[in-house]
Structure 1
Amino acid sequence: MLIHDILSTPVSIVSTFHPTKSELHQVNKVPEVTPCIQEISHEQGFVPDTILGPTAIDPDEIVCYGAVTSITGREWSEINEVYLQDPTNPGLRDANYVNAVSEVVEQKPPHQLRGGIIADPVGLGKTLAMIALAATDLSNRPLAGHTSGASDLEEPDEQNHSVSSTLIIVPPPLLATWENQVAEHTYPGDSDLDSVDIVFTTYHTVSAEWNKANPSASLLFSVKWKRVVLDEAHMIRNENSRMAKSICGLKAACRWAVTATPIQNHLNDLASLLKFIRAYPYHTRANFERDISDYWKEGQDKEAANRLQRLSSCLLLRRPKTTVQLPPKHDIECPIEFKSEERRAYDKLRVDAKEAVDKALNQGQSPGPSKAYVHILQLIESMRLFCVLGEHYHSRYRRASLASGTTASWATIAQQTFRTHLDMGSVVCSQCEAIAHLDHGFLNGSVSSTSQFSRCGRFACAECSVKLTRQKLTLECGHKPACPTAPVSTSVESLDGGTHDVEPEFFSGSSSEMPSKIKALINDILSQPSDVKSVVFSTWRFTLNVAEAGLTQAGIRCLRFDGKVPPKDRPGVLKAFKTDPSKRVLLLTLSCGAVGLTLTEATRAYLMEPHWNPTVEEQALGRIYRLGQTKEVKMTHFFIKDSFEERVIEMQQTKKDLAKVLLSPHTSGNAETSVERLRNLRALL
């Protein structure tokens, strides 16, 4: 029996979670649980074919069953997976317990752990697995151990009413995805909170509802949930942010962090997830750093890696994508040669960048290198844009970029520079050490908060910026005189545009006028059958503007999905791409397309430039090659030969830490560090 057969029929969904009970975004009680779910929910580990019997079963459904049984096994277990019982005293109550990571022996039984990290690759059915997990609650099997079924790290909850509901927290853009999945795989039921199986809300709603002084003021924090699930859990990697603190403040019996990328830029990204799932003893940052992070800092890389691997094997469930029987996928590296006039212009940009670095380095230990660093980043951004746009990147944009580091007002270029920093690695708040991350809040109507960014690279997050303003203080960098600061935004709308986001001119009809990459893109799409659908990804809206102009001129109809497309129009764009045969191409910015979308109608993907962060590329391309894809897929990665883009690819392939090599956000005001950063950048030119 397929999982679709078990749970399929439409469901009534009200709205997103708001403070009043009547506005819950809910999935109601399934009236009955099937024998198949009951049988599987009592198994441990992954489900072999023999458990399901000889009936015809889609291999993808077996994958989902395997995930659910592994997860439920963790919830019912009476042990902490991080600890092993001393084999010399098996089965004895007073037996010693050995920490599998540090090998430290403890005499008392460790705190129980009910949950973990689901880190399946993009497209392996994590959403469906979470829905099926909620359905297994209908077997009414009690959790082992404490009657509450909670980790005993949970604080006493006499004031919290326990409910049997699963709270699922998602980024705003993913609510529609969950709605579609739930409508396909669940039954309707009543609307009383005590009878509701699943409640949806967003990260921003939880953050807004959180009140440290009076947690019970919000319905979210006044109950103890059966289970809390974080979709795209890496959103709380900023341990010191209000969002992370509010999420960790929720009461729950079981906790699951779902993310394909638990570590994006820094090892400490994982520490925040461990805190959320109450992974004793690594729910505290100090223990995590003592047993793992500090070994890297001390140069003991092998021991640190071994410890991290042992910890991951205890807490992290990650099945290889080969577990799902997907059709073949071909990744095509497509080097592009500049035209002769493009090469001359690009080489001039590269020479200018090297000369700027050399000039800054000659200033020695003065504050100059920090200020010059902004200028270098502008030049590098110009080189990257030129690789995509060629001569279409007009001389006036080049002049603006060259001037920005020395004469232009910092307020006019701060947003673009901040965006470049984010692309290259993490930006850390100098006040609270929270890591800046992409904010999807505007997608559901909220206004993105404003942070502060100085010319020398100092950053203050939105929360700290508010505190500084209230205290009538400014963001200090340590330079004399102080470097100028300007407000910046972390919203998708701000970050996928920039100063280069202008409308392109149409080409006069000659393909020789097109940028080399755009010409290669159009030629490849034209070579495909008319029923083949393609998705084109780029970091910048400006690139997509130029691509759209060229494709339209070639008679290819396109759709756009980026930060400027209003939220109310986005479902219509996706529906048109899925159902309208004449709409062959979807143009998508990486900041919008890297999370939450399912685009299995497409069988061709084009990445217009390599991204600093390879996990962003993986997330974006996973929109197409995922559960539900039935056709062969080709993914084309464009890059310009003998250019800065090749250096970015090399760094990806050698798995270097981009943030460590290129940025030092914790000490961005330090002149010595700035000089080292410049040397690292020059090596890439």
Structure 2
Amino acid sequence: IKERSGLLAIKWLRVILDEGHIICTKSSKQSIAACNLDAERRWILTGTPIMNELNDMYSLIKFLRFTPFDNFETWNTIFNNKTMKFKNNNNSRLNDLRNLMKTVCLRRTKDMKFNEHPIVCLPPINFYTHKIKFKTDEKKIYDKMESDTKEQFRSWKESRNGDLKNNYVTFLEMLLRLRQICNHTQLPCKRQINQINGIDNKEEIGNLNDFKISSKIEALVEFLNQNNDDDKSVVFSQWTSFLDLIEIAFKDANVKFVRFDGKMFRNQREEAVNNFNNDPEIKVLLISLKCGSLGLNLTAANQCFLMDPWWNPSIEDQAIDRIYRIGQTRPVSVFRIFIENTIEDRVFELQKKKRDLIFQAFEEQQSNESSNIDEAQLKKDLQVLLGEN
């Protein structure tokens, strides 16, 4: 047995995990190390105890050492997806889960009240979904990529040796390309686009000098041009390469902006946030989704644009909360810009199911939809994303 060293060698009175959902994958090194800490008392702070599936909660329960549920066999016997029927609110296992959550969790949300008064007094927030259509050339590229992806998926599904685990990474990459095309056809590598157009070219990366505004960027610029003088907006995307293309369009449209992403040095990020918050001439902050979903106060903004849907709605919620939080004095508008009849519609539907899973587990709202998200249903999820259901 290896001798315990470093943080593991210390007998702690209390260990508090901030943003504790980071340990949600039980096999990760972070999760294993956190669970092995020797502490008399254990706390977890998180706004997103369930990120993707119910088993995300297990790692948190294991860290808390809440027996017998910290044993995975026990947990899986009681709370596996076959016994959890989320569309049936009278299901005994669902009630067991809710009782467990009430026992170990003190949950507070912005809409909760105490003595008939809101816990947090904030101005209203409104959500808008703006669906737009592809341009003709964009649709041609998307349709060809989607057709190729569907064909490969059907071929794999009909194969006797079809194994999702062996093909999963390939399909994820193809889905990634579809999602990128929804933002801009230059996001996938140039060689892929040339192959779709029948051009023999080995160039890997699109030339930004050949930039042509996409339907989605065009819609964003139109929104910003309609803003009032005191409006400030935060634009989120999960791809910094897409932020590069938005920058080009902003410069052409004379939109004053700053940028915040993980490639910048800390002092550069701090300067960007400070300039956005205090310079009335700067109207927009461009920010990468994961980099901007934690630890920032952006209450100077009153508008949020989510340019591409992320698989995990909790990441988007945390990004929105950079703007809609204590200190916000103005009504907030959140805009989700989608390309209609594409994979983005289907990602949004999967998001709804994941949100419903969280609401059902904590008994925060009723829903008629099933939220049975399970790795065993990956094939079904892929079919949904490809419009094959």
Which one of 377, 386, 392 corresponds to residue 181 of structure 2?
386
Residue number in structure 2 paired with 1:100: none
Does 2:110 align with 1:321?
A: yes
Q: Which amino acid aligns with 2:146?
A: R
Indicate the larger mover: 343-352 or 619-628.
343-352
Give the direction of change, closer, same or farther, for the CA distance of 1:273–1:334 in structure 2 (3 Å limit).
Answer: same
After TM superposition, list the pairs within 5 Å mapping 1:638-677 onto structure 2.
638-655=337-354, 656=371, 660=375, 663=378
- Does the aligned pair in 2 maintain the 1:603–1:634 contact within 8 Å? yes
Q: How does 1:499-518 map to 2 (within 5 A)?
A: 504-505=208-209, 507=211, 513-518=212-217
Aligned counterpart for 2:82 among listed residues 297, 313, 317: 297
- In the TM superposition, what whole-angstrom CA distance separates every residue of 1:35-59 from its partner, at most 9, and x where no partner exists? xxxxxxxxxxxxxxxxxxxxxxxxx
1:83-129 deviation digits (Å, cap 9, x = unpaired): xxxxxxxxxxxxxxxxxxxxxxxxxxxxxxxxxxxxxxxxxxxxxxx
* Contact 2:232 2:301 survives alignment (8 Å): yes
Q: Does the C-alpha gap of structure 1 residues 316 and 611 become closer, same or farther in structure 2, counting only changes over 3 Å? A: same
Q: What per-residue deviation string (whole Å, max 9, x for no partner) do you get for residues 617-657 of structure 1?
A: 11111111111111111110000111111111122224445
Tell me whether 1:243 sits opposite 2:30 in the alignment: yes
- Is the Cα contact below 8 Å between 1:535 and 1:587 reproduced in 2? yes
3-state SS, counterpart of residue 310 of structure 1 = helix
* SS of equivalent residue, structure 1 residue 332: strand
Tell me the distance in 1 between the aligned counterparts of 2:75 and 2:310: 30
Most deviating of 325-334 and 592-601: 592-601
Contact 2:255 2:283 in 1 (8 A): yes
Whole-Å Cα distance in 1 between the matches of residues 32 and 60 of structure 2?
11
Could you say which residue in structure 2 is the equivalent of 1:260?
A: 47
Deviation at residue 309 of structure 1 after TM alignment: 0.5
Alignment CA distance shift 1:284-1:395 (3 Å): closer
Distance 2:166 2:32 in 1: 34
Provide closer, same or farther for how the CA distance between residues 303 and 400 of structure 1 changes in structure 2, counting only shifts above 3 A: farther
Equivalent-residue separation in structure 2 for 1:283 and 1:576 (angstroms): 47
TM-score by length of 2: 0.81
Q: Is the 2:261–2:269 contact (alpha carbons within 8 Å) kept by the matching residues of 1?
A: no
In the TM superposition, 1:2-401 aligns within 5 A as: 213-215=2-4, 217-218=5-6, 221-225=9-13, 227-290=14-77, 292-294=78-80, 296-298=81-83, 302-322=91-111, 323-362=119-158, 364-366=159-161, 373-390=168-185, 396-399=191-194
Amino acid at match of 1:240: S
Call closer, same or farther: CA 1:340–1:242 in 2, change over 3 Å. Answer: closer
The 8 Å contact of residues 24 and 56 in structure 2, kept in 1 or not, is answered as: yes
In 2, the alpha carbon distance for the partners of 1:232 and 1:577 equals 26
Say whether residues 1:551 and 2:250 are aligned partners: yes
- Alignment CA distance shift 1:221-1:640 (3 Å): same
Any idea what the Cα deviations from partners look like across 1:239-276, whole Å, max 9, x if unmatched? 33332233233344432100011111232221221222
Letter paired with 2:175 = I
Q: Distance in 2 between matches of 1:662 and 1:504?
A: 40
Does the CA-based 8 Å contact 1:506-1:550 persist in structure 2? no
Structure 1 length normalisation: TM-score?
0.48
Q: 1:630 to 1:221 in 2, by over 3 A?
A: farther
The separation in 2 between residues aligned to 1:288 and 1:374, in whole angstroms, is: 29
Kindly tell me: are residues 543 and 401 of structure 1, through their superposed partners in 2, closer, same or farther at Cα, counting changes over 3 Å?
farther
Q: Which amino acid aligns with 1:624?
A: I
- How far is 1:563 from its partner? 2.4
Alpha-carbon distance in 2 for matches of 1:213, 1:644: 49
Q: Is the 8 A contact 2:128 2:335 kept in 1?
A: yes
After superposition, the C-alpha distances for 1:491-534 in whole angstroms (9 at most, x for unaligned) are xxxxxxxx97x773365xxxxx4211101111111211233221
Q: Distance in 2 between matches of 1:401 and 1:658?
A: 34
User: What does residue 363 of structure 2 align with?
Assistant: none
Asked whether the equivalents of residues 342 and 390 of structure 1 are also in contact (C-alpha less than 8 Å), the reply is: yes
Distance, in Å, in 2 between the alignment partners of 1:641 and 1:557 is 29
Counterpart selection for 1:560 from 259, 262, 268: 259
Change (3 A) 1:528 1:297: same
**2: CA distance between counterparts of 1:570 and 1:642?**
37
Question: What whole-Å deviation, never above 9, does each CA across 1:140-199 have from its counterpart, x for those lacking one?
Answer: xxxxxxxxxxxxxxxxxxxxxxxxxxxxxxxxxxxxxxxxxxxxxxxxxxxxxxxxxxxx
Q: Pick the aligned partner of 2:225 from 503, 526, 535.
A: 526
Hey, what's the Cα distance between the residues in 1 that align with 2:329 and 2:298? 12
Decide whether the 8 Å contact of 2:146 with 2:386 is kept in 1.
Answer: no
1:630 and 2:334 aligned: no
Partners of 2:144 and 2:196 within 8 A in 1: no
In 2, distance between residues paired with 1:374 and 1:219?
A: 36
- CA distance 1:220–1:365, shift in 2 (3 Å): closer
Contact map agreement 2:346 2:385 (CA 8 A) in 1 = no
Change (3 A) 1:537 1:349: same
Q: SS state of the match for residue 304, structure 1?
A: helix
State the Cα deviation string for residues 548-577 of structure 1 (Å, max 9, x = none): 110111111222222211234222222222
Question: Any gaps of 5 or more consecutive residues in structure 2?
Answer: 112-118, 355-370
Say if 1:284 and 1:401 are closer, same or farther in 2 by CA, change over 3 A.
Answer: farther
Q: Residues 506 and 620 (structure 1 numbering): CA distance in 2 closer, same or farther, change over 3 Å? A: farther
**Aligned equivalents of 2:164 and 2:72: distance in 1?**
33
Counterpart AA for 1:297: K
Work out the CA distance in 2 between the residues paired with 1:253 and 1:631.
Answer: 44
Aligned-partner residue type, residue 75 of structure 2: F
SS at the partner of 1:256?
Answer: strand
**Per-residue CA distance 1:324-356 (angstroms, 9 max, x = gap):** 110011101111122233223322222222222
Q: Which stretches in structure 1 are left out of the alignment for 5+ residues? A: 1-211, 403-407, 409-498, 508-512, 664-673
Equivalent-residue separation in structure 2 for 1:678 and 1:246 (angstroms):
33
1:584, distance to aligned residue in structure 2 (A):
1.9
- Secondary structure class of the residue paired with 1:281: coil
Distance 1:684 1:620 in 2: 31
Amino acid at match of 1:286: E
Residue identity over aligned pairs, in percent, reads: 34
